[in-house]
Amino acid sequence: MTKILTGGVAKSEVASAVAGLGLPGVEVLVSNDMDAAVQLRAGQADYFLGTCHTGAGASLGVLVGLLGSAACHTFGRSVPTAEQIEALLGEGKKVFGFAVDRVEAVVPALAQAIAVRTA
């Protein structure tokens, strides 16, 4: 089972969007950045999706500080392609940030790519 944690301004909306996809083998839970960092470091969670108004700083600030930039990526206000998402997952990125107004575009692509990779 792949565990995705959500945090930030739209954490509930992101969790609902992931859950609404009905992806087999994917569990999603609303969290916060501190708890998520602890769970990711301990291997109790696999991914974190964080949101803020710009998708740049607050969406991942604590996680970058605690897990390092090698594990984190922010899309900001951009909408990534499937190829970009796959490349980031291939690099070992587990923490993703994006703007709240991009939830509908980013979450399905990202969650589906995670589900395929971890199936």
Segment 90-103, tens digit of pLDDT: 999 999 999 999 99
Per residue, the 3-state secondary structure of 58-109, as one string, reads CCCHHHHHHHCHHHEEECCCCCCCHHHHHHHHHCCCCEEEEEHHHHHHHHHH
- What mean pLDDT, rounded, does the chain reach? 94
pLDDT at 92: 97
Question: ∠ at Cα 34 (94, 115), nearest 5°?
Answer: 25
pLDDT at 112: 98
pLDDT at 74: 93
Return the DSSP state at 10: T
Q: Pull the structure tokens for residue 1.
A: 């089972």
pTM greater than the 0.75 cutoff: yes
Helix (H, G, I), strand (E, B) or coil at 15: helix
- What's the chain's length in residues? 119
Cα-Cα-Cα-Cα torsion 75, 77, 78, 82, nearest 10 degrees, comes to 50
Residue 58 has pLDDT above 70, yes or no: no
**Average of per-residue pLDDT across 5-22:** 96
